Structure 1
Amino acid sequence: MKEKSSKTPVKTDAKSASIRISLTAKKNAKEILKTVNKKGYGRNVRLSELLELAMTLIQPAHIQMLQEKSLSSDDRKEQMRQKYIATRGPISKAEFTDFQMTAAYIDFLSEQIPTEVVELNM
């Protein structure tokens, strides 16, 4: 009888991966890449090279902007409730919703938002 030799598959590290992006992002990236590759000499720049460069240019302010953009209205409401709890004590979600309908909520908001005085130079 012949013995079956078991072959183990050789694992190779993938050099690329696919990701999902919006069609608008794809279109914008291709337009930028087309502009980058309009040159007389040299090889074409790959999209991955363009994206790697773009990611190194992201600043903490950009990250904060994206984080803020991802918040839902319920998330923002919960953040305000947590600020209320930190400054004035515990309150349930339902009680906080009721509190938002009062004039005292406007006072609470004015305490939370730092005011900046803008001087006009004339």
Structure 2
Amino acid sequence: MVTADDIEARLPRPLDTHERTRTEVLIDDAVKRIAAEFGRAGMDLQDRLEVQWFSDEYERVIREMVSAVVLVGINVGMTSASSSTMQESDSATFKDSDAVSWGGVTLTDQQRRDLGLPVAGKTLGRFPASPRWPERMLR
């Protein structure tokens, strides 16, 4: 199981009391989100967690999901920022980001692939090309 200490050990700075509490809540959210996605896909998460490599990958994905939210914080979606001192000029540019959400954890398409979950709108296998139309030449 992933703990706030596991995440803090990988961050570039220590967590304050508020961030530590929030991190614990976000870990619980990430665990529930992944369990829900496995349920939607009709896959058994508990069976997979018994396999060591999958368990390690599962914990890594949870750490990624939570640390992204904690580190980005209120700057979610910010792509650039500038500031001037004289005559006070501040500027910030934002972009909608699918990878990070300020209010909660996000499971990206890459993380879904890492966990073996299907990614919406994309096939998981290779299929033969469809026949050309018309299927036979008329003479």
Q: TM-score, normalised by structure 1?
A: 0.26
Structure having the higher helix fraction is 1
Higher relative contact order (CA 8 A, sep 6+): 2
Higher gyration radius (CA): 1
More strand by share: 2
